Amino acid sequence: MELDLQRDEQALREYIHHRIAEFSDSENLGPGEPGNPIRLITLGYYAEQGGYAALILDTRADAEVDGEWTVNGRCTWKRRRTS
């Protein structure tokens, strides 16, 4: 697999816009409780074996870059296929 961020930039931008647009006060897939304001936005990625990207909208009052989103099992992942 060849990583080509220039080729994937538009798809990644669209994914980010989609995740932000679909955010709802009544449901939150990231860490934190629904109804709380977004305190931290994390863009996670995995570039091995096909590649993944995830935009995590953290609503915890004490949100910090602690990796909690990787273990909570509630994040929506988007697989990026390369040819």
pLDDT tens per residue across span 17-69: 888 888 887 887 778 888 899 999 988 877 776 667 788 888 999 998 887 77
Q: Which residue has the higher pLDDT, 80 or 52?
A: 52
Is the predicted pLDDT of residue 14 greater than 60, yes or no?
yes
This prediction has a pTM of 0.68
Give 44-51 contacts, CB < 8 A, sequence gap 24+: 44/69, 44/70, 44/75, 47/3, 48/1, 49/1, 50/1, 50/79, 50/80, 50/81, 50/82, 51/1, 51/3, 51/8, 51/79, 51/80, 51/81, 51/82
35 vs 81: CA distance, rounded Å: 34
The whole-number pLDDT of residue 83 equals: 47
Arithmetic mean of pLDDT, 2-30: 80
Query: Per-domain residue ranges for the chain?
Result: 5-79
Helical residues (DSSP H) of 1-83, grouped into ranges = 5-22
**What pLDDT does residue 3 have?**
64
